[in-house]
Structure formats: C-alpha cells, structure tokens
A and B are shown apart, each in its own frame.
Chain A
Amino acid sequence: MISVADKPQTFYELMRAQGTSRRSFLKFCSLTAAALGLEPVYADKIAHAMETKPRLPVLWLHGLECTCCSESFIRSGNPLSSDVILKMISLDYDDTLMTAAGHDAEAILDEIPNKYPGEYILAVEGNPPLNEDGMYCIIGGKPFVERLKSVAANAKAVIAWGACASWGCVQAAKPNPTQAVPIDKVITDKPIIKVPGCPPIAEVMTGVISYILTFDRLPELDSRGRPAMFYGQRIHDKCYRRPHFDAGEFVQSWDDEGARKGYCLYKMGCKGPTTYNACSTVRWNGGVSFPIQSGHGCIGCSEDNFWDNGPFYSRLANIGAGFGVEATADTVGGTAAAAALAGVAAHAGASAIKHFTRKPGEGDKQ
C-alpha cells in the first residue's frame, strides 16, 4: 500500500506533499487536541510532534473477527480516519484496507519488523484460535497464531482492537469450540492496550493512536489494560437517563409510556451499570446517538464474557449456561431457600413428634 522509504517522512512533510495547507494542518492539530480532551496549548505540541517525528509504522492484523472494528474505525469523524491513516501513521499492512495483495503484501510483515525493530505498533483485530494447532484461522497459508507471535516479537506495543482481541468475544463464548483466546494469552512480553467494544467507538480508536503519536508514550491504562480516559467509567455513570434510574422510573415494556418518555432501561436488561465504555459521553457516528439514546439498552459489548452474561433483555444474568440449565441468581437462590424452608418445616414436624411422644424418663429431664 505505502512503500517503506529508507527515511520515513514526518507527518507534516507528507501532509504538505499532499497539498494540505499550513492553516488546515493547524486546524487538524487543534481538533485532535480537543478530541483527546486536552488543553488548547496541546494543539501546539501536537503540531510540533507531527512536524518533527517520523510517521509511526503500524501493522494491522486480522484474526478471527467480523471486521466491525475496521468498519467503525473508518467512520471516525474527529480525527478523520483518513487523516489518521494517510497523515498520522504509516499503515504499512492492513489486509482489509490496502490495495496490495499476494506475496508482495505479505512480505511487508517480514520487512517492517526487521527494518524498524521496537519502533512499530502492532494493531490486532480479532483473535487466534488455539485448537487443532490454530487451524481454525489460516491466513496466507499459516495459522494466524504463528503470524501474530512473529509480528509481535519486535513490536513497540500492541493494540488489541475490539472485544475479540481484548477478551475473546463471540468466538470465545461457551463452549468455544475453536479455543479462541484474547491476544494477551499469546503475546505476554509486550505492553498491550485493550480497546474493547464490539466494535469500539471510532473516536476512541483514533484517539488512542493520536495519543501514542503525540506524547510518544502509551495512554494510562486501568487494571484491565484499557485506556483509563475512555474506559474509566461505566456507561451508567454518565448516562443522560440516570436521573430516571435514581427516581426509580423504569421502562416496564417496550411500548409503554416509560419507553416513549425515555425512562431508564434497567429493567429491560440495559447493561450500562456493568459496562465500562465511553458511549454515553463520546457517543457514536460523530456524536449523533448511542444505543440507550435510541431507546435500546446497552448490551455490554465492551465487557469480558458479554455473550455469556445474557440475556440482553433481563437485568440478572443467566447462570449455569454450561450445564444447559439457564436460570437467574434469583431462581436458583429462591429455589434453594424454598427447599431450605421445606426442610426446616419437615424437621420441625419430626422434632415435635419426637419431643411430645418421648417416653417419660427418656431424653432430657426437665
């Protein structure tokens, strides 16, 4: 797609070569700073970084996935994904987006790690299946897991795009026949930034790349390896319907008055209270809306095991899915408590019979 020059251009050189004016360049820097939630002075720092730093080589691999991460990424409004791909990074390999194909394209995966050891970013969309020696995902004639390991070996850092690479997602849901695993089970010696979601928000994806580029370091990660600035809070914490939650005003069914008036979707199974993501603040499609705003509960797509924590339309998760028994905690607990009550009643009856029919002189003499 993009030839690998001996001395990589800076972003600014490339942008000027493509006809971008200085004014447009500075506007782009300001917008990027605003998108990252930085102070206005950081626009200068971004501009300085882009004028002086060589473009960051990025290799984007695809394993078991549905390409929804790429679909989301190319819709980023701010910064525009075209700006990220064409101006900020040097996207040297992405089999979905690049025009090159065949052996020449695959050769890039050997070339970049040798040419820029420790300097390139590996972005991974999807995950490797380990069962049958990785035969459930063959790309370019090799199991994906082998390619993933070899390209990761020299990487500066690894970005795990989406729920697949971060947690496993649908292919790792029970019973996980291909033994699909998140990439941190395979890559253990590199810093991994998890950007979960199915897909992640476009602006979160481009924001993570912009951050790495601008500050030449990885963003602060939380205890689960996600960028804290985007995954630090639950959707629930910033949901515009939160006042209805606190008031106890819940939608009871999809066509009731509460649904029409935009009440809280908690009882309809909204997973906002258990989901760490930026949907309620950044929103989707350039800030147009997000699921809850559209009247549907969050399905928790950026959470680990979200396929196994269903159903989507009930507050309490089913448990025991592995046994073919699906019941909520209340059904299981309530049944056990009812059994305990029945046991107590039976025991009490037996005790009463025993107590009042005992022979004089036997047992406790009072």
Chain B
Amino acid sequence: MYYKTKPYRIFSIFNYTFLAVLSILCIIPLIHILAISFSGKAPANANLVGLLPVDFNLEAYAKTLDNENFLKSLWVAVQRTTLGTLISMVVVVLAAYPLSKENSAFRRRNFYTWFFVFTMLFNGGLIPFYILIQNLNMMNTLWVLILPSAVNVWNMILMLNFFRRVPRELEEAATIDGAGHVRTLISVYLPVSLPAIATLSLFAMVFHWNSWFDGLIFMTDHKNYPLATFLQTVIVQQDFSKVSARPEDLENISQRTVKAAQIFIGMAPILFVYPLLQRFFVKGIVIGAVKE
C-alpha cells in the first residue's frame, strides 16, 4: 500500500502539520470575535481583547437574544433559506438535466445555455428591477428574496457538468426500460449526483443566508428583514458628522460586544448545517455504491 512507503509518511507528517496550521490561521479571527462577545464593554471598545475574553460576562448574549427583532429576522432568514434553496435546486436541477445532453440529443441546448449564461454578466441594474418588483406586487414579500435568485446559473453550469459524469450505461439502461426523462433524472441521475447536489445546495443555502441587500431594498418594513440584513444594521458604524449626536444616544451605538455576539449567533446555524452536508462529499462512496 502506498501510504506505508517512507516518502509518503514524510509527506504525511508535513501534510498534517501544514493543514493544522492552516486551520488555526482560519479560526483565529473567529476566536477573537468570540472573545469580544464574552468581554466587558470598556475593554472591547478600547480594542484590548485578544483571543481571551477580558472581564468575562454573558451580557452581550442576553441582550442579543432579548432583542425581538433579532429573533424575527432569524425566522425570516430560516424561511427564506429553506424555501429559497429548495426552489432554486428544483429549478436548477430540472434545467441542468436537459442542458447536460449533447447537442445531437437536444439541439436547443446551446441556445438555452447561452441564454442563461448571458444573464450571469448582463443586468439592467437596480432601477428597472425595482420597478419590475413593484409592478409584480412583490414588494415586502418573501418571494422577492426567493424567485429572482432562483435561477442560479453558476450552480446550473456546475450541475450540468456533474450530470455529464453520470455513466452513460446507466442512462441507456433506463431508456431501454422505457423511463421518461423525468424518471431518468430522478432514479438515475440524482442518486449518483448526491455529492454535487449537497454541494450546490450548500452554495444556495449560504447565498440565501448571507444576502442582505435585497432585504434592505425590497422589504418596506424593517420587521421583515432577514437576519443578514438585520446584522448589517448592527455592524455598520454610524457617521456622527450628520446627526446631532447627544451623549445619551451614544450608549447604544458603542456595543461592540453585542455586535460580536450577533455575528457569532448569525453564523452558528450555517456552521451547524455544514457537517451534516459534509458527509456527502467527504467520502467517495456514492458512485461506487451504485456501480455494484
């Protein structure tokens, strides 16, 4: 076995060390934010917190969870992410299947593909889009957060590339059995494409979880903001050159610890989902299992 050879062992030692260091480098900022969220206000505002909390306390979390807007926006985000991912994946997978066919099998595929790819680059900008949403009466609805982004062309192209790797023999067997396209997609393509589907679902999920601008512009009521939009409000620094700042107000804006706690709580769900999806693309079991 290759992994018992000496050069490979040396490589392994290096590899483990390197990846461990890399992981630490990636986690440091998060630990820093976590430390701030558990710190006292004064040291946090003066940037005296490193990787360990100073004046440890849980006040920031209590304040965050006490804010009803936070919980509301969390709920909007959950709805948006679940529904948005689902709809987007259905639309994308449905379209990617025919587009993964060869020209000879589906002549219009080239036209369709370019039709979609074109929209990756060209768009009319915010103004006509805003007018459109208004005319569709979609202002302040969950749909405005879901439908416009449902056709994720990037995901579609990746999906069609993954579909192309499905062994042709499987499809032909299904065709001979008299299966239609939809059945072929569901019973042949989907099971062998689970890693891809898990990956692209993750992309869609992360996209929905992190998007904040559409919520800000199209939700006419701040109660309907998804979490990412809500968090933006908290993180952005206010410019005092324009407002009559009074010392009484300033208490509210200087809550660096609360900001840190909210960032962390905002990230938590998506971190939690990751390991669940991870098993689909860490192990190369899927195709092997089908092949048997």
Q: Do A and B bind each other?
A: no
List residues of chain B with CB under 8 Å of any chain A CB.
Answer: none
